[in-house]
């Protein structure tokens, strides 16, 4: 990994631009017949440690082509591309591809970066439309990023760009350029989900949503046209504000199904937020014995799901609990008492299948990169025979770790337990500014931890990267991703606290609509992955 130390070998400046056509297929990658060209020397192995990688060109507006070079230490082979210099520099390593049929193409690469650059990104330009970019995040482990464009002119230039301060570095390896049909694990059933639990309250309090041109439209129609095919709704038992209860879920389910979308129902088994730090019983259940509590889980789950079925909006997937790393319905169902927790989970799962045997049951944990904890948890669940179909995780890059940690965990869980996996929650900020008086959760320190810039493009790139991880889970066991609360914009009366109508929203800078209510580029990612 390039750090602040000098290069591993002396750098010889090389100038000039060379455009080479690709002549072969990437090893192990199937490229559709209409893709007449692909990347030459994708792993930088043909360069043998020379200055400029064979098949690639380097340019610099400041005459610093030598800041791009090949050195030892590849991700999968002996060499990698690096950008580094002892003074501030600008450099691009690029390759032009020709003979391309019109259509959608994706550039993917594995990257590492020490951060600090003015800009560091993958680029697709000269393809017939506007240049498309994907930022390279700050990460010490190899992480895959991608960018997609529409080719209309038969040619496209793939670039790796650094505008950097002295000592800033990136490493790049294993580059791919493929038709969108060449994505790993292609599936028309990939979940492109959105959690819209606050949408009804937003609309009732005056919230509006607009397309990119500024035209006001129905929010669900905008999400659907952007590519969303699955919607998630949380269920509280008796919330103070009357939202996210049985009646509201039934209303929203009708709208969701009318858009041709599938439905995930997320049972919190609480009157308010349930997550790893709090799993409070509904007030009406506080005095229950454990057997009564177990029966209440069954009856509440059955009641909501059977009502959905009766109105023709049967749930397609159900979460029995929300982020239940430390159990649910405390103290009875904490993970320190797995016998109780298993009984509660089994009651909920049994109720789901009693309503509709084909509805999938998800068990959902937070901290999507925490493999040791998740192994322990699911070992406990499976050893006690808890029935479930899908493993769900929350993974916010700024809280839960790198893309690599998510990839490793999902791969292991899918293999170890023989079940498909889904990222049930993720999100990222498009700005550090606020749109109301409530401090935002996503701030400058979390942006630094997340590794992507707090910009509309950074938000889109972060979401695309999470999709790439899920699509890379072996044996097609990566089901998809849900974006958490894309419509939770800053609308007075639609704040965090259901007990306090004056509370603000700390999430509006992670919505997929900007402060003028217009759809952001992140929404279009749902239709492009």
Last-in-domain residue among 134, 152, 183: 183
Task: Say how far apart CA 22 and CA 98 lie, in whole Å.
Answer: 8
Query: 334 with 449, same domain?
Result: yes
Higher pLDDT pick, 108 / 257: 257
Same domain, 104 and 216: no
pLDDT at 374 over 50: yes
* Banded model confidence at residue 51, pLDDT cuts 50, 70, 90: confident
- Catalytic residue, from 58, 71, 176, 323: name it: 323
Count the alpha carbons within 13 Å of 230 in the hemisphere toward its beta carbon.
25
Q: Would residue 92 show up in a list of annotated catalytic residues for this protein?
A: no
The domain of 100 spans 1-183
- One domain for residues 197 and 175: no
Identify whether residues 121 and 172 lie together within a single domain. Answer: yes
Q: State whether 76 and 141 are in the same domain.
A: yes
For the cut 70, the answer to whether the pLDDT of residue 181 exceeds it is: no
Q: Which of 85, 69, 92 is nearest to 17 (CA)?
A: 92
Sign of the dihedral through C-alpha 412, 413, 417, 418: negative
Q: What is the pLDDT of residue 48?
A: 57
Please say if the pLDDT value at position 10 is more than 70. Answer: no
- Residue 52, domain CATH: 2.60.120.260
Q: What is the per-residue pLDDT across 488-522, written as a single tens digit (0 to 9) for each? A: 999 999 999 999 999 999 999 999 999 999 999 99
Q: Which residue has the higher pLDDT, 50 or 433?
A: 433
Q: Are 200 and 84 found together in one domain?
A: no
Mean pLDDT for the stretch of residues 111-119: 93
Final residue before a domain boundary, out of 135, 160, 183: 183
Identify the active-site residue in 71, 176, 367, 425: 425
Report the pLDDT averaged over residues 138-165. Answer: 89
Question: Are residues 146 and 214 both part of a single domain?
Answer: no
Contact yes or no for 477/187 (Cβ under 8 A) = no
Q: At residue 179, does pLDDT exceed 90? A: no
Q: What is the pLDDT of residue 7?
A: 33
pLDDT in tens, 384-408: 999 999 999 999 999 998 888 999 9
Strands 132-135 and 119-125: antiparallel
Question: In the chain, what percentage of residues exceed pLDDT 70?
Answer: 91
CATH (domain of 424) = 3.20.20.80
On whether both 155 and 286 belong to a single domain, the answer is no
The β-bridge partners of 163 are 90, 119
What mean pLDDT comes out for the span 246-274? 97
421-426 and 79-84 as β-strands: parallel, antiparallel, unpaired? unpaired
Q: Domain end: 183, 212, 239, which one? A: 183
pLDDT class of 278 with cuts at 50, 70, 90: very high
Distance of CA 309 to CAs 306, 314, 315, 350, Å?
Answer: 5, 4, 7, 16
pLDDT bucket at 49, cuts 50 / 70 / 90: low
- DSSP for 452-521? S-SSHHHHHHHHHHHHHHHHTSGGGTEEEEEEE-TT----TT--S-TT-TT---S-GGGSSB-TTSBBPH
Contact by Cβ (8 Å): 223, 194: yes
Q: Are residues 170 and 307 in the same domain?
A: no
Question: Closest Cα partner for 330 from 381, 290, 384, 366?
Answer: 290
Determine phi and psi for 421, rounding to 5 degrees. -125, 150
Are 138 and 213 in a shared domain? no
The residue whose two tokens read 């607009």 is: 210
Q: Is the pLDDT of residue 267 over 50?
A: yes
Provide the number of structural domains found in the chain.
2
pLDDT, position 257:
96
- Clarify whether residues 33 and 61 are in a common domain: yes
Confidence of residue 108 (pLDDT cuts 50, 70, 90): confident
Cα(26)–Cα(45) distance, rounded to whole angstroms?
Answer: 13
Question: Is 323 designated active site?
Answer: yes
Task: Tell me how far apart the alpha carbons of residues 213 and 193 are, in angstroms, rounded to a whole number.
Answer: 23
Indicate if the pLDDT at residue 114 is higher than 60.
Answer: yes
Local structure of 356: helix, strand or coil: coil
Quote the mean pLDDT of the chain: 89
Distances (CA, A) of 492 to 197, 465, 500: 16, 33, 11
Is 155 in the same domain as 300? no
Q: Would you call the peptide bond into 458 cis, given omega within 30 degrees of 0 as the criterion?
A: no
Percent of the chain with pLDDT over 90: 75
Here the tokens at position 376 are: 């322990």
pLDDT on residue 38? 82
């Amino acid at each position: 990994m390039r750090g602040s130390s000098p290069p591993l070998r002396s750098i010889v400046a090389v100038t000039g631009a060379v455009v080479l056509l690709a002549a072969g297929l990437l090893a192990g990658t199937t490229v559709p017949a209409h893709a007449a060209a692909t990347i030459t020397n994708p792993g930088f192995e043909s360069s043998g440690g020379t200055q400029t990688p064979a098949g690639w060109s380097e340019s610099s507006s400041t005459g610093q082509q030598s800041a791009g070079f090949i050195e030892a230490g590849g991700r999968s082979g002996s060499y990698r591309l690096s950008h580094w210099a002892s003074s501030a520099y600008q450099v691009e390593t690029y390759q032009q591809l020709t003979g391309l049929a019109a259509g959608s193409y994706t550039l993917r690469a594995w990257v590492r970066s020490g951060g600090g650059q003015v800009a560091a990104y993958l680029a697709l330009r000269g393809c017939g439309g506007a240049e498309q970019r994907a930022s390279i995040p700050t990460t010490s482990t190899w992480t895959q990023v991608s960018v997609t464009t529409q080719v209309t002119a038969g040619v496209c230039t793939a670039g790796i760009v650094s505008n950097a301060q002295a000592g800033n570095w990136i490493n790049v390896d294993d580059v791919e350029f493929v038709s969108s049909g060449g994505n790993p694990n292609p599936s028309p059933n990939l979940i492109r989900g959105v959690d819209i639990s606050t949408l009804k309250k937003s609309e009732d309090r005056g919230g509006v949503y607009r397309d990119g041109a500024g035209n006001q439209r129905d929010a669900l129609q905008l999400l659907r046209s952007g590519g969303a095919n699955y919607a998630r709704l949380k269920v509280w038992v008796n919330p103070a504000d009357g939202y996210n209860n049985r009646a509201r879920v039934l209303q929203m389910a009708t709208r969701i199904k009318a858009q041709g979308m599938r439905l995930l129902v997320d049972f919190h088994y609480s009157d308010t937020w349930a997550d790893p730090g709090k799993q409070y019983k509904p007030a009406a259940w506080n005095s229950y014995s454990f057997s009564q509590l177990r029966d209440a889980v069954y009856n509440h789950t059955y009641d909501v799901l059977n009502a959905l079925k009766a109105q023709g909006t049967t749930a397609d997937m159900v979460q029995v609990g929300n982020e239940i790393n430390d159990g649910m319905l405390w103290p009875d169902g904490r993970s320190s008492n797995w016998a109780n927790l298993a009984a509660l989970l089994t009651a909920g799962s049994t109720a789901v299948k009693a309503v509709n045997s084909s509805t999938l049951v998800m068990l959902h944990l937070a901290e999507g990169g925490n493999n040791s904890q998740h192994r322990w948890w699911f070992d406990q669940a499976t050893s006690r025979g808890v029935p479930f179909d899908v493993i769900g995780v929350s993974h916010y890059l700024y809280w839960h770790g790198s893309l690599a940690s998510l990839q490793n965990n999902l791969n292991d869980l899918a293999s170890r337990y023989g079940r498909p996996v889904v990222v049930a929650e993720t999100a990222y900020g498009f700005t550090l500014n606020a749109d109301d008086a409530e401090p935002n959760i996503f701030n400058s320190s979390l942006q630094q931890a997340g590794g992507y810039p707090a910009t509309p493009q950074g938000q889109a790139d972060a979401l695309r990267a999470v999709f790439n991880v899920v699509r890379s889970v072996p044996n097609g066991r990566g089901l998809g991703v849900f974006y958490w609360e894309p419509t939770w914009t800053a609308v007075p009366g639609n704040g965090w606290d259901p007990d306090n109508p004056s509370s603000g929203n700390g999430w509006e800078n992670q919505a997929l609509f900007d402060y003028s209510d217009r759809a952001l580029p992140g929404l279009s990612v749902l239709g492009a992955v």
